[in-house]
Every structure is written in C-alpha cells, then in structure tokens.
C-alpha cells in the first residue's frame, strides 16, 4: 500500500481524465474569448500527446 501523498494508480491511468479536463478547459476558454488561457490549455493538452480541436469548435456534442 502506498504511503501518504503517493498515487495509488500509475500516472498513465490518470491521462484520460487529464485529457478530458484539458479539452473542456480549452473549449470553454475559446468560447469565452480567453485566448491566452485557451493557448495554455492547448499546450498542456499537447503535452499529453493530444491536440486541441483545430477548427475552434468544441470537441464535445452539445446536449
């Protein structure tokens, strides 16, 4: 059992959740016109091996 402050899951297991949150942040910042924040979220997303939606449209269907 890992000690306090140690992840119980391998870092790779957290990647899908991180990508989801970063894509959502990128889309939200783009929709608000917050370009600097959208660029930052895009860079962080790229660091996970993904690319933000190039068209500027949301990668998620509206519900």
String of b and e for 8-41 (b: at least 16 CB within 10 Å)?
Answer: eeeeeeeeeeeeeebbebbbebbeeeeeeebeeb
Taking all residues of the chain, what is their mean pLDDT, rounded to a whole number?
Answer: 81
Per residue in 38-57, pLDDT (tens digit) is 999 999 999 999 987 765 55
Integer angstrom CA distances of residue 58 from 5, 13, 44: 35, 24, 17
Asked whether the whole model's pTM tops 0.75, one would answer no
Domain spans in the chain, listed from the N-terminal domain onward: 13-47
> How far is the C-alpha of 27 from the C-alpha of 53, rounded, in Å?
8
């Amino acid at each position: 059992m890992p000690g306090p402050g140690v992840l119980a899951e391998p870092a790779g297991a957290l990647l899908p959740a991180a990508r989801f949150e970063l894509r959502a942040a990128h889309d939200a910042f783009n929709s608000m016109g917050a370009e600097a924040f959208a660029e930052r979220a895009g860079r962080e997303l790229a660091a996970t091996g993904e690319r933000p939606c190039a068209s500027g449209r949301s990668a998620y269907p509206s519900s």
